[in-house]
Structure 1
Amino acid sequence: MGIIKGKITFIDGSVFDFREIMGIKEIDYRFHYMDKNMKLICRWDSAPHHPEIKSFPYHLHTNKEVLNSPKMNLIKALDEISLNVIWNIER
């Protein structure tokens, strides 16, 4: 079993707070991404609290709704976030 957790502040001021727990068979995660004002942009997690979601227990929170999401990991989340950071600094 292993745990990785931390917080990254990007050049555009956005913040990524993450925790990934790797077990023998499963990965439990929470990847929380916020803008520079600490307002939620999105959060991927594997908490089993939205059984109505097709991708249960994996899902994505936005500031408006909860959506289906494929199973995520730290690298996938960073890939998604990097696109947003690049877009923010190029505009």
Structure 2
Amino acid sequence: MAEDPDGAPHRDQMIQRYLDDIEKVIGFHPTILSSTLQKRLGPDGKTIYVTGTIMFSDLSVLEIAVFAVEMRNKMAVDKYRFQYMDKKGRMVFRYDNAPHHREAPTFPHHKHLPNRVSPSTQPSLTDILNEISAAILNN
């Protein structure tokens, strides 16, 4: 892998590695039927916006929106929304860090459930896919 003079991976390689990691995580889960991701590189070459949907074996859907930024030679998620819906389109849960639930002790991170909002740390895509897969396999 080519490196910058300071020994860090080139920016475009960091973003590509980040995108490859997302694809690997999605490809690992046997409950996933299909996925469609759109990737938009920011004009500065330091940001990536990933949106898309993942369909599961029970026809439930996860909508993804992640804005990641290169910071200190790694990719950091700045903004995110992961909304999981059942096959009828009803929200099961949504993780996000929109700054609208200041009462959450984990502000701005929180998890929406059908009838409440609960504290949450920033989840990884792996965490969310594991949560969904466990729910599908336990039904």
Which structure has the larger Rg over C-alpha atoms?
2
Give the TM-score normalised by the residue count of structure 1. Answer: 0.89
Gaps of 5+ in 1: none
- Distance (Å, rounded) in 2 between the aligned partners of 1:11 and 1:85: 8
Compute the RMSD of aligned alpha carbons: 1.2
- Distance (Å, rounded) in 1 between the aligned partners of 2:117 and 2:134: 21
- Distance (Å, rounded) in 1 between the aligned partners of 2:49 and 2:125: 12
Q: SS state of the match for residue 81, structure 1?
A: helix
Matched with 2:93 is 42
- Distance (Å, rounded) in 2 between the aligned partners of 1:59 and 1:66: 7
Q: Which has the higher contact order (CA 8 A, sep 6+)?
A: 1
Q: SS state of the match for residue 77, structure 1?
A: helix
Percent sequence identity is 36
- Distance (Å, rounded) in 2 between the aligned partners of 1:30 and 1:15: 13
Report the more deviating stretch, 13-22 or 68-77. 68-77
- Distance (Å, rounded) in 2 between the aligned partners of 1:87 and 1:3: 33
**How many residue pairs end up in the alignment?**
88
Tell me by how many angstroms 1:58 deviates: 0.2
Q: What CA deviation, in whole Å up to 9, does each residue of 1:8-63 have, x standing for no partner?
A: 11111111111111123552100000011101100000101000000000000000
Q: Is residue 133 of structure 2 the alignment partner of residue 82 of structure 1?
A: yes
- Distance (Å, rounded) in 2 between the aligned partners of 1:70 and 1:18: 17
The amino acid across from 1:57 in the alignment is P
